[in-house]
Structure 1
Amino acid sequence: MKNYYTLLTAFVLILSGCKNEPEEKHSEPEKEPTVVEKIANANGLENFDNITELKYTFNVKVNDSLRTSRAWTWEPKTNTVTLTTPDSTVTYNHKSEAAAHEWVDQRFINDQYWLLFPFHLVWDEMKWQHEEEATAPISGETMERVIVTYPAGAGYTPGDVYEVYFDDDHIIKEWVYKSGGSEENPFAATWEEYEDLKGVKIATRHRNEDGSFELFFDGIEIKTE
Structure 2
Amino acid sequence: MKKSILIAISFACFFSCKETKKETPSEQQIELSIMDKVASAHGFNNFKNVKEMEFTFNVDRDTSHFQRSWTWNTVTHQVETFSNDERISYNRKNLDSTTTTINSGFINDKYWLLAPFNLVWDKDNITYDHQIDIHAPISNTPMQRLTIVYGSEGGYTPGDAYDFYFGSDFIIREWVYRRGNQKEASMSTTWENYVDINGLKIAEMHQNEDGSFKLYFTDLKVTSKTP
Q: TM-score range by the shorter chain?
A: 0.7 to 0.9
Match 1:83 to one of 56, 77, 81 = 81
Residue 147 of structure 1 pairs with residue 143 of structure 2: no
Alpha-carbon RMSD: 2.3
Partners of 2:214 and 2:220 lie apart in 1 by: 17
SS of residue paired to 1:49: helix
SS of residue paired to 2:120: helix
Please report the TM-score for the alignment, with normalisation by the length of structure 1: 0.88
Q: Residues 23, 77 of structure 1: CA spacing in aligned structure 2 closer, same or farther, 3 A cutoff?
A: farther
SS of residue paired to 2:112: helix
Task: Percent identity, please.
Answer: 39
Letter matched to residue 60 of structure 1: V
Answer whether contact 1:98 1:105 (CA < 8 A) is retained. no
Partners of 2:145 and 2:136 lie apart in 1 by: 8
Q: Residues 136, 78 of structure 1: CA spacing in aligned structure 2 closer, same or farther, 3 A cutoff?
A: same
Partners of 1:35 and 1:138 lie apart in 2 by: 22
SS of residue paired to 2:100: helix
- The aligned residue for residue 3 of structure 1 is none
Q: Deviations over 1:63-104 (max 9, x none)?
A: 1421x2010000111111111113311111113326551210
Letter matched to residue 64 of structure 2: S
- The aligned residue for residue 63 of structure 1 is 62
Answer whether contact 1:73 1:82 (CA < 8 A) is retained. yes
Q: Deviations over 1:39-66 (max 9, x none)?
A: 1101111111111010000000011421
Partners of 1:13 and 1:197 lie apart in 2 by: 61
Answer whether contact 2:176 2:185 (CA < 8 A) is retained. no
Partners of 2:12 and 2:78 lie apart in 1 by: 60
User: How far did residue 17 of structure 1 move?
Assistant: 8.5
Q: Residues 109, 17 of structure 1: CA spacing in aligned structure 2 closer, same or farther, 3 A cutoff?
A: same
Q: Residues 90, 186 of structure 1: CA spacing in aligned structure 2 closer, same or farther, 3 A cutoff?
A: same
- The aligned residue for residue 26 of structure 1 is 22
Partners of 1:185 and 1:41 lie apart in 2 by: 27
Answer whether contact 2:39 2:116 (CA < 8 A) is retained. yes
Residue 54 of structure 1 pairs with residue 53 of structure 2: yes
Q: Residues 148, 99 of structure 1: CA spacing in aligned structure 2 closer, same or farther, 3 A cutoff?
A: farther
User: How far did residue 219 of structure 1 move?
Assistant: 0.2
User: How far did residue 144 of structure 1 move?
Assistant: 0.3
Partners of 2:207 and 2:139 lie apart in 1 by: 12
Runs of 4 or more consecutive aligned structure 1 residues displaced over 6 Å after TM superposition: 9-22
Answer whether contact 1:72 1:83 (CA < 8 A) is retained. yes
Q: Residues 98, 116 of structure 1: CA spacing in aligned structure 2 closer, same or farther, 3 A cutoff?
A: farther
- The aligned residue for residue 105 of structure 1 is 103
Partners of 1:159 and 1:115 lie apart in 2 by: 21
- The aligned residue for residue 164 of structure 2 is 164
Answer whether contact 1:53 1:75 (CA < 8 A) is retained. yes
Answer whether contact 1:92 1:98 (CA < 8 A) is retained. no
- The aligned residue for residue 95 of structure 1 is 93
Residue 193 of structure 1 pairs with residue 193 of structure 2: yes
- The aligned residue for residue 117 of structure 1 is 115
Q: Radius of gyration: which is bigger?
A: 1
Partners of 1:99 and 1:30 lie apart in 2 by: 47
Letter matched to residue 200 of structure 2: V
Letter matched to residue 53 of structure 2: L
Answer whether contact 1:188 1:208 (CA < 8 A) is retained. yes
For this pair of structures, how many residues does the alignment match? 218
Answer whether contact 1:173 1:190 (CA < 8 A) is retained. yes
